[in-house]
Structure 1
């Protein structure tokens, strides 16, 4: 999947990009930064982990959600997703429940065989294995962001990721779970923007990489 992202950059005519990934997307972004360093201007790994056993573990409280029957209707899918995010979502931030409902409805109609998609994601995460040694190869400016109440991926996963990459900035957000509550956006956005600015300071200005970065 990291190679797929590189293929997308090729198709778009973009030589390098600032790469941000969350959860399994964070794993993909990590692999991309390690294996394709010339294509990654900076890396932001959010609510993710290294794959090392015992790090970033999922709470047993989520088992009933992970192994529940798949939804047969849009309403069932929405109700299931709202219950899930009531569990994995942030404890200290208000959730945008209407956005959860909207996104779930779109996802349900896009992929009616969504339960098989969950199985493929689980297999992909397991197949990735321990990437600690691979992460040590990353040279791009990196920020690792995690929440203290993440039940899907314990923040020990973020700590392990930060420890594996040289010169990383680690941002731990109190009360944030495995979601993106609007009130946490300013902290997340500022951390990502600050990480990209390291490159700008090193080069004396923003790199203009096929429109990926500019003076703004």
Structure 2
């Protein structure tokens, strides 16, 4: 996404950066994507396949929100491929109430703060109809995941052997700090840092702090 360009520009000073669009987003197909409950498990091998295609045997995995969830899942499923994982807005589990899922399903026509910028981006990138398909199917998929327990990678915490940094905002209702701290404690080499006062999009509200935190942590690993 364009709003991560600044972070990527700082990372290229010390790393080879591979910026991947998740399936159905950015320039990646299919579009518009209809999500279902197994999309995390389906996307992780796709991302691993990208690394294989590029001849990359090991990598530091950095991701926001769904990108972070995929990074954690990849590290759990293929621990020999992950040098480290650093995420923000990810917690290894779906936390969403029925009211929040309903709001997500109708967010294109009834945008609510703090997701007005996200809706504007989705409509611009995929058109109104495409954005409706994506958000309504995502709400259904997340509801199905919650119904079966919500787990993404949380139950595999012990399998994640690389160093892990979880960054979560104080007011992130999608990836709350309390369960993030618990998840980090369950990961053998896990660390947690709270973005005080932030919501889900830490890179917007606390951009300088997040970049410095990620770069400093990655430099140690």
The TM-score normalised by the length of structure 1 is 0.67
Residue deviations 1:155-212, cap 9 Å, x none? Answer: 223112211112322110111111245341122122222222223xxxxxxxxxxxxx
2:125 maps to which residue? 106
Structure 2 unaligned residues grouped into runs of 5+:
1-42
**Are 1:48 and 2:48 an aligned pair?**
no
Matching residue of 2:100: 62
Residue matched to 1:119: 140
For the Cα contact (< 8 Å) 1:16–1:40, is it kept in 2? yes
Task: Please show how residues 131-146 of structure 1 align to structure 2 within 5 Å.
Answer: 131-146=153-168
TM-score under structure 2 normalisation?
A: 0.65
Alpha-carbon contact 1:57-1:153 (below 8 Å) kept: yes
Give the total of aligned pairs: 176
1:187 corresponds to 2:209: yes
Name the residue aligned to 2:200.
Answer: 178
Structure 1 residues 110 and 124: CA distance shift in structure 2, 3 A: farther
- 1:37 shift after superposition: 1.7
Distance 2:95 2:137 in 1: 22
Q: Which has the higher contact order (CA 8 A, sep 6+)?
A: 1
Structure 1 window deviating more from structure 2 (123-132 vs 31-40): it is 123-132
Within 2, Cα distance between the matches of 1:166 and 1:64? 36
1:50, 1:157 within 8 Å by CA — same for their partners in 2?
no
Structure 1 residues 119, 12: CA separation in 2 closer, same or farther (over 3 Å shift)?
Answer: farther
Q: Give the Cα separation in 2 of the matches to 1:165 and 1:144.
A: 10
Find the aligned partners of 2:192 and 2:53 in 1 and give their Cα distance.
32
| Structure label with greater radius of gyration | 1
